[in-house]
Structure 1
């Protein structure tokens, strides 16, 4: 196949950015409508014993997993080209980074995606969390905490061949063909969907269907945009295969920690011609826009500020924890918890376990504060 000419390449670049924005806007609108929130789902379980929102979250995971592996099965995407594929499993970074992120999201009133959704709904304190989290993320990508991360937890790892996605590892161990990878992923995703829908209240809830299937579909949509629509076998200049508009040069899906940092970087250095829009930046803007449109359309837009000094301090600490932890774990509750887990990457599963443990510690800390004040 001949290389794409430069004008067609630029046109595709623009199309990918608009598609990423549209998918993310749908994500933002659905999340605002259904109150889709990982921290909220965990809080419901801890405080009320209510698993409804967790089943909605697992439904989203199952839909994304089935869709991802279905696309692998028909050859639309290559699972070895995702940012979650690696033979080197940084298990300590995933666990500790995930725990730090989970703790931070409790203090910060929600994860990265929830922060963006709340900004769209009028939360000024979430806007502060966004800026602080973005700076902490950037420092952990390229600054002082990046040096610390590289010199400590990132050095602790083990090799996993042919890669960290468990279906690929299992198929290789058992000597099965490539088709088994898609089958295993679809089967696991189907089991998750079945568990999520086993509850009658969930099956009868419009919110649960919209939040679960809808959010899962947006994760799947971003995989398609990045890995299929945006894949160019030969770049017009380098003649190398490229995934258009991605920061990493590999296939990406919805994730928000590092993209917050890249969004601030793009805004600050806007006049620098070397700073170009990427899929991650378009996703951040899209979520805020989608949530804002829904909030305004339903007249639920409300300005919100900090309740006091301690509320401000807790949110600032939470934002720093999320920025450092999210980058260290290579993703947030959406980046690792949905996008990464949809590939069944072991690293993503470890990061998700860390997030859950960190959130539990955050809830205990909040309870301690209440008991101390009471």
Structure 2
């Protein structure tokens, strides 16, 4: 067995992840890539431009991930999204909470980081409140409630919950072949739909869709291929260097990673608190968005408009922190990374997030009309 310098590889993995996250931040700030904004544009104006951008990004990640599966570089079963236990109720409840919360908080987890980089102090408050709520839902008081209620409702499958695992045998294909075909059909279909209308072929749409999609797909490669060690010389076990859970491939996500980032900052002197892909992704998006905001002269300080605005953002942050953990991800975690694995749970969570966002937008419209 070839000797591997785990520490050197870990450094390489973290820098590569940071670079991709910084790129994501730059592109998201430049192109206004935002899932909540995409849903809001449709509900309020009937404008599908940003949704086509988002669909393009989802298609790119799906093609990238399943292409890597076909090449034998990664496996869906080694991600957090394709477990045999389908937590369908958690996906629905958590997704609805997250979707509703991201509207109240003016953006999802990734948009919160982008807005921090651009000088938005409201998003700084959302960052801290969402991180605390997420950590409590992973290990604290709401974690107990989550485990004792929602997670008791599940479907136990004979295979992983990703479509290639479920459909490989009925289709008479190997899982890698099923991933290639299904990922190609669904991902390719998303790309075709994205560019079908002229608004999907604009510079911003192409930049945001292709750029953000490639950055998220790149994180899968960094964690699953670059950081993969078949046999750790210290433990003699397979590991994915740089991942929070070294037994799993790390995808880009922004709820639990914000909680991990707060934990790392607060307990920095504790040598057991080390940098991971999740943490450098969080930092990278802020740095990238901030860099572009400064270069483009769009950086500006922005605070709360009043008590109601403050309350909306704080409540939204709590909903996102709790809902994102319950649903196992956010609009990037479940919506791009999870969806690319073709996980049934990710499809359910994404639909619920979108539904929650529509409910919140309708609620806001009702409040405006009522006050008028």
Return the TM-score normalized by structure 1.
0.97
Question: Residues of 1 paired with 2:130 and 2:178: CA distance?
Answer: 40
Question: Residues of 2 paired with 1:153 and 1:265: CA distance?
Answer: 26
- How many residues of Structure 1 are paired with residues of Structure 2 in the alignment? 370
Aligned: 1:253 with 2:251: yes
Q: Deviations over 1:133-160 (max 9, x none)?
A: 0000000000000000000001100022
Offset of residue 83 of structure 1: 1.4
Offset of residue 3 of structure 1: 5.0
Q: Deviations over 1:289-313 (max 9, x none)?
A: 0000000000000000000000000
Q: Deviations over 1:73-105 (max 9, x none)?
A: 111212221111210000000010000000000
Which shifted more, 133-142 or 76-85?
Answer: 76-85
Aligned: 1:155 with 2:156: no
Which shifted more, 324-333 or 154-163?
Answer: 154-163
Aligned: 1:79 with 2:89: no
Q: Deviations over 1:210-238 (max 9, x none)?
A: 00011110111000000000001111210
Q: Deviations over 1:272-305 (max 9, x none)?
A: 0111111100000000000000000000000000
Aligned: 1:98 with 2:91: no
Offset of residue 2 of structure 1: 4.2
SS of the residue aligned with 2:196? Answer: coil
SS of the residue aligned with 2:115? Answer: helix
**Residue of structure 2 in register with 1:146 after alignment:** 143
**Residue of structure 2 in register with 1:128 after alignment:** 125
**Residue of structure 1 in register with 2:182 after alignment:** 184
Which shifted more, 354-363 or 316-325?
Answer: 354-363
Question: Residues of 2 paired with 1:99 and 1:341: CA distance?
Answer: 17
Offset of residue 24 of structure 1: 0.3
**Residue of structure 2 in register with 1:33 after alignment:** 30
Q: Which of these residues, 20, 38, 42, is aligned with residue 17 of structure 2? A: 20
Q: Which of these residues, 226, 233, 237, is aligned with residue 234 of structure 2? A: 237
Q: Deviations over 1:241-297 (max 9, x none)?
A: 000111122001110000000000000000001111111000000000000000000
Question: Residues of 1 paired with 2:49 and 2:15: CA distance?
Answer: 33
Question: Residues of 2 paired with 1:180 and 1:134: CA distance?
Answer: 37
Return the TM-score normalized by structure 2.
0.98
Which shifted more, 177-186 or 275-284?
Answer: 177-186
Q: Which of these residues, 59, 83, 107, is aligned with residue 110 of structure 1? A: 107
SS of the residue aligned with 1:363? Answer: helix
SS of the residue aligned with 1:339? Answer: helix
**Residue of structure 2 in register with 1:199 after alignment:** 197
Question: Residues of 2 paired with 1:158 and 1:116: CA distance?
Answer: 34
Q: Deviations over 1:58-86 (max 9, x none)?
A: 00000100111111111121222111121
What RMSD over aligned residues (CA atoms) do the two structures have, in Å?
1.0
Question: Residues of 1 paired with 2:55 and 2:157: CA distance?
Answer: 26
Aligned: 1:66 with 2:63: yes
* 1:244-283 superposed matches below 5 A: 244-249=241-246, 250-283=248-281
Q: Deviations over 1:14-60 (max 9, x none)?
A: 11111111000000000000000001000111011111110110000
Question: Residues of 2 paired with 1:154 and 1:109: CA distance?
Answer: 29
CA contact (8 A) 2:167 2:178 kept: no
Question: Residues of 2 paired with 1:338 and 1:282: CA distance?
Answer: 18
Q: Deviations over 1:324-365 (max 9, x none)?
A: 000000000000000000111000000001101110111122
- The unaligned stretches of length 5 or more in structure 1 are none
- The unaligned stretches of length 5 or more in structure 2 are none
CA contact (8 A) 1:162 1:172 kept: no
CA contact (8 A) 2:255 2:330 kept: yes
Q: Which of these residues, 348, 351, 373, is aligned with residue 371 of structure 2? A: 373
Question: Residues of 1 paired with 2:58 and 2:37: CA distance?
Answer: 16
